[in-house]
Amino acid sequence: MPLCNTTRVRAMPLAFSFIVVSIFLSAFGHASGRPPALPLANVYHPGVNLEEYWVSEKLDGVRVFWDGETLWSRGGYRYSAPAWFTRQFPAQPLDGELWSGRGRFAELSGVVRKVQPVDQEWRQVRFYVFDLPEPDRPFEQRYRRLQQLVTAADSRYLVLVEQRVVASHDELMARLEQTVAAGGEGLMLKRRKSWYQAGRSDDLLKVKKHQDAEATVVAHLPGKGKYEGLLGALEVELESGRRFRLGTGFTDEERHNPPAIGARVTFRYRGLTATGLPRFASFLRTRNDEPESIE
């Protein structure tokens, strides 16, 4: 069942709220004109106490941070959203994703990365908010506050990500199957009593049929046989510094025009090998969601 709005949370006085948020953003580096470090997800595994979590759909969108005036990428660059797109957004920070529908990531990234936004393209985009960067409230209270803010904004371009309860692992897996069958990427679990804090933790868990991760392209390896003269594999580097080859999952077009050296790519895999590298890794896409301009 969707969560109801019966719980009422007493809002802090405006001045005090502003001070708390300002201190938080300064502590996380936002005073320098860049977004703070954001909460990131670990991977769900059976045995997690689901009574502690709410579940939502995992949107295959572009992660953004709204500072009350500007949309920022995770890398600290401004998105050139049209003024009308953000005009009714609250004048306080919000955490969420730009999204235009299931299976449309490549199209979306092409729209939002442009230095000069195209109004007609941005009409298809929405800012789906899933958290409120306030360090003094547990998530269940932050979510109630988000409901109030989104309702008060009355913007067609601002949408609250719906959170639901889930009773068991079997129910979670059934919901995952339904979501994927409908074209979705997966689910997200958010611990109801968690605080807003940067970095990866079990407060946020992604639930997917396949694991995925990101790596940086460090070399193009030539193909052989039917791929002679084309890309054979990418040599990629993980955050840990370890490298491996990514040789499957490419379209013919991607083998003719492979991701550039230095590009971030997303790959799918199934567990780890005995040496700790991704098993059965397959290229998924280039993670080209940073704005074209660097400020």
- Measured CA to CA, the distance from residue 257 to residue 4 in angstroms comes to 49
3-state secondary structure 46-58: CCCCHHHEEEEEE
Compute how many other C-beta atoms are within 10 angstroms of the C-beta atom of residue 286. Answer: 17
Say if CB 21 and CB 133 are below 8 A apart.
Answer: yes
Taking the CA of residue 26 as centre, how many other CA atoms within 13 Å lie in the half-sphere pointing to its CB? 6
The Cα-based distances of 34 to 26, 85, 132, 164 in angstroms read: 10, 21, 17, 32
Query: Catalytic residue at 58?
Result: yes
Identify the three-state secondary structure at position 32.
helix
CB distance 196 to 40 below 8 Å:
no
Query: What sign does the CA torsion over 64, 39, 206, 276 have?
Result: positive
Among the options 58, 190, 193, 208, which is catalytic?
Answer: 58
Query: Could you give the CA distance from residue 104 to residue 56 in angstroms, rounded to a whole number?
Result: 19
Q: Quote the CA–CA distance of 174 and 18 in Å, as a whole number.
A: 42
Active site residues: 58
